[in-house]
Amino acid sequence: MAPPVSRILISPEALQAGVARLGRQITSDYRERDLVLVGILKGALFFLADLARAVSLPLEIGFIGLSSYGASTETSGAVRITHPLDTRIEGRDVLIVEDIVDSGLTLDHLLRLLSAQRPRSLNACALLHKPTRRRVSVPLPYVGFTIEDVFVVGYGLDLDQKYRNLPYIGVIEKAPPSPPPSG
Ligand code: 5GP
């Protein structure tokens, strides 16, 4: 079945160019540092894999799992840890790698959570940013693409756990309604 994507917002080639640019920026900013990339599961999976290879520095990769939208396209504001951080970050230079910053609630929560573990520095990098939807102010020095207020899938981003494997970022104009509870 064809994905319910109405248009391609960012092509595979444009994605790779954006990731390469971020990689160069991070490489120049984190020289002589003890860099740890902390990817947020599952949306940042492909972005992290490509970004890590675009950074020409020794680095470590960690993952943390946070709950996302579930089967809907609207944020609940609630953030739940589904997989604890698997890397020691105390005294190290941590860069959170997010797929998309929308309301900013997830990143805000994660920044507080990780700063309690006393990293030497803590920053965030997002592939996509929807500034018009921002509800909390979060520092975001590394952004791949700023996008309009649309719901997107592909390159790690899902709708109800599907379409993560699309090689581009595509727009879903209208999310299909959640199925009624069965039984
Ligand atoms: P925030 O907490 O900033 O509102 O949302 C962050 C999380 O919401 C992202 O990590 C992502 O999982 C999900 N999200 C926000 N916007 C979109 C979108 O357009 N498409 C998809 N698939 N997920 C989104």
Domain 13-150 maps to which CATH number in 3.40.640.10, 3.50.50.60, 3.40.50.2020, 3.30.2350.10? Answer: 3.40.50.2020
High-pLDDT (> 70) share of the chain, %: 88
Distance from C-alpha of 28 to C-alpha of 114, rounded to nearest angstrom: 24
Distance from C-alpha of 132 to C-alpha of 72, rounded to nearest angstrom: 19
User: Closest Cα to residue 130, out of 168, 173, 99, 162?
Assistant: 99
For residue 157 and ligand 1, the question of a CB distance below 6 A is answered with: yes
Residues 85-118 pLDDT 10s:
999 999 999 999 999 999 999 999 999 999 999 9
Active-site choice (50, 93, 99, 102): 102
pLDDT at 182: 45
Confidence of residue 47 (pLDDT cuts 50, 70, 90): very high
| Average confidence score pLDDT of the chain | 90
Q: Whose CA is nearest to atom 9 of ligand 1?
A: 100
Q: At what angle do helices 12-29 and 45-54 cross, to 10 degrees?
A: 50
- 103 Cα: distance to centroid of ligand 1 (angstroms): 8
Residues 15-25 pLDDT 10s:
999 999 999 99
For residue 108 and ligand 1, the question of a CB distance below 6 A is answered with: no
**Residues 12 and 154: beta-carbon distance below 8 Å:** no
For residue 160 and ligand 1, the question of a CB distance below 6 A is answered with: no
**Across residues 42-62, what is the average pLDDT?**
97
H/E stretch holding 106 reads helix 105-115
Confidence of residue 169 (pLDDT cuts 50, 70, 90): very high
Is residue 160 flagged as an active site residue? no
- 21 Cα: distance to centroid of ligand 1 (angstroms): 22
For residue 171 and ligand 1, the question of a CB distance below 6 A is answered with: no
Confidence of residue 77 (pLDDT cuts 50, 70, 90): low
- 78 pLDDT above the threshold of 80: no
pLDDT at 183: 38
pLDDT at 123: 97
